[in-house]
Structure 1
Amino acid sequence: MRKKLASVLVFLLVTAVLTACTGPQSYTETFDAPGTWRVESSGDVVGEVRDGVFDFTVNADELTSWTTAGEDFSDGIFSVEATQVAGPNNNAYGMLFRVDDENDNFYSFQISGDGYVWIGRYQDGGATEAEPIVNDWWFESPVINQGNATNKLSVQAEGQNLIFFVNDQEVGRVTDDAFSSGDIGLMVRTLGVGGVQVQFDNFNLDPLPLIHR
């Protein structure tokens, strides 16, 4: 009886360990504390955690800047709230996922203050031209709250299948296998006029629904 009980306990322990190792990933960042996100303060870029948000300003007229969290994720539902605070509406801001920091390779999901979407991949940090993977370049979307407003960006990533949402409305989907896992990040771009300020909050990674696993 003792041997049988011991075998059952070993089986349960192994099962628990395997479940922990292979179970769905989750993450929550409310920016109530500095955490692990990279910050910067220079003439061109100011990015800092303060007052419960990641406050990100790009002052240069033509610049792409991003920050990462120092994490490593693959599949799940990534989401972040982004609020444009100041600057011209001809801008770009959004989230990064599956970031390879060493080589500056990542997927980027961007919107603009004047109601456009850009979804694509960067390689070598854009040293080679960034490549769109949904539509040919920027495309207009009526679901974006334009100007100084808040938008929720979400990506459902399951292997090579990626679905993109703004304010819980789908804006694109694609099958792409360029990057399978990596860090998460935030991005702000200026497109000719500087002073774009965006505040990010509530970056979450939720497990995929059971039907997808």
Structure 2
Amino acid sequence: MHRLIHQANPLRPALLLLTVALLGLAGCRSGATGLPYTETFDDAGDWSSGEDAYSIGQVVDGVYDFQIIENDVSRWASAGQNFGDGIFEVEATAVAGPLDNGFGLLFRANPETGDFYLFKISADGYVWIGRYAEGAEDTTIVGEHWFESPAVQQGLNATNRLTVRAEAGNMIFSVNNQEVGRVTDNTFASGDVGLLVQTLGGAGVRVQFDNLSVRPLD
């Protein structure tokens, strides 16, 4: 298990320090995986999972169920795949805990180094799009830190669909089919796909993910 530190985001004062960890490192890292890739979480497959004092992540009842037990903690789990260009998509539903949270999709990830792009939202209507390097927040690549968006369906039990269209360094980000940002960034060319949940305003955040896919570009 990799344990990494993420410093505070000044525009989200509830966030102090985040411990970012990969749950049960798994999967291949050589070569690109064929598309399309779909995951309905009907079985565990190659998804990393595990439990520690801070979190529980597991495939159960047709979803990836991710719980963060402590405050100011972040965890991510990966599929053990390798993708470059494509349309990345997942459905995410916060089902418990405070609305001041963070959850979403990471892609072009290297679990060994902690490098990845991250597209996440909060249940109180915010979006964050950025880049991590060596497990620590490197920079936001769209907007300035968290920004509010009407595209996000707020509240518990509200399902949001996160979509990224990535073609080389050109990336377009959408929530519920509404574009929330686009950028050109060539830092990471390929890597794993994964899911992330973090606590910002209190412990007990639980998010369920379903219908993850990576499709070829149209």
Offset from partner CA, 1:5-54 (integer Å, 9 cap, x none):
xxxxxxxxxxxxxxxx9997210000000111100112210000000000
Which residue does the alignment assign to 1:70?
80
Question: How far apart are the structure 2 equivalents of 1:130 and 1:118?
Answer: 13
What are structure 2's unaligned runs of at least 5 residues? 1-30
Matched, 1:171 2:180: yes
Does the residue aligned with 1:103 lie in a helix, a strand or coil? coil
Counterpart selection for 2:191 from 182, 186, 200? 182
How far residue 102 of structure 1 moved from its aligned partner, in angstroms, is 1.3
Counterpart selection for 2:129 from 119, 130, 153? 119
CA RMSD of aligned residues (A): 1.5
TM-score (norm 2): 0.83
Q: Is the 8 A contact 2:107 2:118 kept in 1?
A: yes
Which residue does the alignment assign to 1:204?
213
State the aligned residue count. 187
After TM superposition, the runs of 4+ consecutive aligned structure 1 residues lying more than 6 A away are: 21-24
Question: How far apart are the structure 1 equivalents of 2:36 and 2:118?
Answer: 20
Counterpart selection for 1:135 from 129, 133, 143? 143
Q: Is the 8 A contact 1:113 1:146 kept in 2?
A: yes
What are structure 1's unaligned runs of at least 5 residues? 1-20
TM-score (norm 1): 0.85
Question: How far apart are the structure 1 equivalents of 2:68 and 2:178?
Answer: 28
Matched, 1:96 2:106: yes
Question: How far apart are the structure 2 equivalents of 1:130 and 1:89?
Answer: 25
Question: How far apart are the structure 2 equivalents of 1:164 and 1:71?
Answer: 21
Question: How far apart are the structure 1 equivalents of 2:138 and 2:122?
Answer: 16
Which residue does the alignment assign to 1:154?
163
Which residue does the alignment assign to 2:45?
35
Question: How far apart are the structure 1 equivalents of 2:125 and 2:190?
Answer: 29
Counterpart selection for 1:144 from 127, 131, 152? 152
Question: How far apart are the structure 1 equivalents of 2:56 and 2:146?
Answer: 26
